[in-house]
Amino acid sequence: MPGVETDDALLVAALEQFALVGIRRTSADDIARRAGVNRATLYRRLGTKSEIVAAALLHETSSVLAQIEATIGDVPEPGTDAPDFDAVEYVVTFFVTTLTAVRDNQLLQRLLEVDRDETLVGLTFGAGPALTLSAGLVADRVRALRVHRAGAAPSDELPDDVAALAITLARLTQSLLLTPDAGPSLDNPARMRQYAEQVVVPMVLRV
């Protein structure tokens, strides 16, 4: 991507370099060279290496969330004609789609292969912004589902229980993905669906 100077292009260049040699062995010069800019430009636009790492991981999180949104679609607004909409199925699909999208993410798999320790730091200690971003999508969908089921007009306010539930679900998903050996076993879609039906649906829909 020589000569490209948008922030997105710089972050993509950083992610590509991380996937090639790992986060720890990537220098600012490596990223700048791959992006076709000088190091001063890179620092001016994105900051220090630690800030670049955080921004790059958040950029990838945004991309994954966009894929998830495109797959699950929106929750119908109250009063709209959506006789086939199934709230339970929507929650199950959301959960399965999220686990699958993250688990099968090629960039994440590659990062864990070439630099597992540093990548895990980014996915745990450095995951605050990504969890907050993910929780935002979850909160939006939880609120929409509850409004849809209640048949009420949507409100701009986000109830405390929805905000707390959203970040809890984001953290739950993070834990399930990072420590799969501790159980429950979610190694195939059928088991993911069963877990979602038994655990996630009651939390989201209060049933």
Give me the mean pLDDT over the 172-176 stretch.
95
CATH 1.20.120.80 fits 1-47, yes or no: no
Residue whose entry in the numeric block shows the structure tokens 């049933």: 207
Tell me how many degrees the CA angle 140-144-150 measures, rounded to the nearest 5.
150
Give the tokens for residue 65.
């969330």
d(CA 75, CA 148): 7
Of 187, 72, 43, 193, which Cα lies nearest the Cα of 138?
A: 72
pLDDT level of residue 158 (50, 70, 90 thresholds): low
Give the tokens for residue 140.
């939006």
Question: Taking a C-beta distance cutoff of 8 angstroms, is the pair 152, 78 a contact?
Answer: yes
pLDDT level of residue 3 (50, 70, 90 thresholds): very low
Residue % of the chain over a pLDDT of 90: 83
Give the up-direction half-sphere exposure of residue 140: CA atoms within 13 A in the CB hemisphere: 14
pLDDT tops 50 at residue 4: no
pLDDT tops 70 at residue 157: no
pLDDT of residue 155: 59
Mention every residue, 6+ apart, whose C-beta is less than 8 A from residue 2: 36
C-alpha pair distances (Å), 99 with each of 31, 70, 103, 116, 161: 30, 15, 6, 19, 23
Question: Taking a C-beta distance cutoff of 8 angstroms, is the pair 91, 196 a contact?
Answer: yes
Give the tokens for residue 35.
């992006």
pLDDT of residue 86: 94
pLDDT of residue 149: 84
The pTM assigned to this predicted structure is 0.88
Residue % of the chain over a pLDDT of 70: 93
d(CA 143, CA 82): 17
DSSP symbol at 77 = P
Note the pLDDT tens digit of each residue in 102-140. Answer: 999 999 999 999 999 999 999 999 999 999 999 999 999
Domain ranges of the chain: 1-47, 64-205
